[in-house]
Structure 1
């Protein structure tokens, strides 16, 4: 009992812990890593670098090598209308098929039917005839009914086409944006992680200095001297032997860069030379050719227009009664680099059923590729202007102008200006026709300029 009492009265033993070793600040790699902060910073950096800088500024998305079927609905119709005009002038059916080959038969028939409705509504018989001829020669008349039905729903299909184009153009943007965003995240994470490692190293160095531990500095001057020893120099005299095939490998860094730059310049020059040889630049015509109804060739611009930098050509058009072909002539308008539009004149209305036709109205027209609508005016005979019924029919097609020597007619589009002058006019005198009812001969001078 006494021993037990003695044991109970003795103090309880205390637990002795060994002293903890002091850790060097900055080398504790077991601390919590702020992953969410790194990801957030990487996301912001990737978004700023990928989308505005790379995606919108440095490398914006550009659509190239598009085909006519990828155009907007309005430009599709303009393209098909130009193809019809070209086919009416050249008669090259293979070329017309190639130009409309990106569309299926039903789609091509629908576009042509829509253009025919527009031409009929505007009273353009010339354009209607051209479209009908193109549709017939391409074998699209069988599908004209379905094409007309689909043309009546053009607004709905145009909206669907616009949505399809938007989806096609939007998909690459989304993919490229996702790639740029992922690249930005990876780059941002790497930079933040590297910066964090450098920060830990700096803290560790400061802690070592506080503890009195000396850290030797690297001998940077010795390193530079070691790198610069035995560096090859450039030859300085003309008597030096020419460089061998292995010479570029023995050059210093500056010489190698200059060698590569010279090689790149020569390659670029060669590419540009090849490109200019392949590009066919059509020079403006130098001589005038008077076009008659019996001629199938395209007249050229007169040379006196070359003095005016804004002039696109001066053309002479002459109509003579008696041809077995419908008079319809047009002229290409272009500068040294690109096609700008067309102008022309053709028979708009006849009197009676006589053969050859007795033209009482000529349609003068101007087409601008930047202006969807074709601007027209009608040159009419005295009979056509004085007859109330005929004048009412022609008034729906454009402004009526009496054909008289010295008469000036103006047409303007968004970027083109046409001035036509009636040089001479002669009326027919057939006994079966009213007096001064149709043209026997009509000569016009057409001057086309770019708007200044």
Structure 2
């Protein structure tokens, strides 16, 4: 009994009390006082079976009004759930005319990408199981990414050592952002500074694109694409930056290369499948475009590493300014 009392006295009751109180207060606020309300949400928020019903109505509407713009607009309204809903209808047309389903699918294929829309050959229960599995994988990926980010940021803080990630964060904070309005341009939707520093082997930054109303438009980011030499830390010779647009089926990507890598046929051959190859130079600018977005990357700061490897072959540090605008026209 005395052992139990002593153990209870050692527990951090104040911290536990604050945690439980904060949890109760947060749940009360989120579910009772100010619950989340969806207003004018698009069909992509519907459950899978309701998305399938929406797709059936879109196909039936296309049978009566064969407007390709309207058909594609309704397809895109379902977002990533469009292909799953269409595959379920292909596998089980029910009262939907299979000929119209095929015609609708061919239209979407031709207009969007020319890539075939996968045909679901299994029942909806398997689709639901696969969706659940994908959701679990995504959740684990998010948790792993969060853990890696914290490790990058705080890995050596306990010893008082300044990590490369901490140096990069400080450099990005001090870098001066471009005032695009003074240049006669509209202010970007979002504008971010990101810095790679030699030794940050896990460098991989990504950012969300949201409207002022909170509507999700896509994501963008930059990470390590290629390293040269052996040993630690990695000698990064190329970075790749990318732009994902929820209204586009493909992610736009370009590869930013050191001078040595850009002139090396072997490295170029390995990186060409990833996207357009671009030579990195101080103050140079590179543009990425998707269906509705454009990203302007500016090389704010660049310094090459000095060592036994070829000159200008890997980055000591590089700071990029990433700005996003809606694509006009």
> What's the TM-score once normalised by structure 2's chain length?
0.49
| Bigger Rg over Cα | 1
Structure with higher strand content: 2
> What's the TM-score once normalised by structure 1's chain length?
0.37
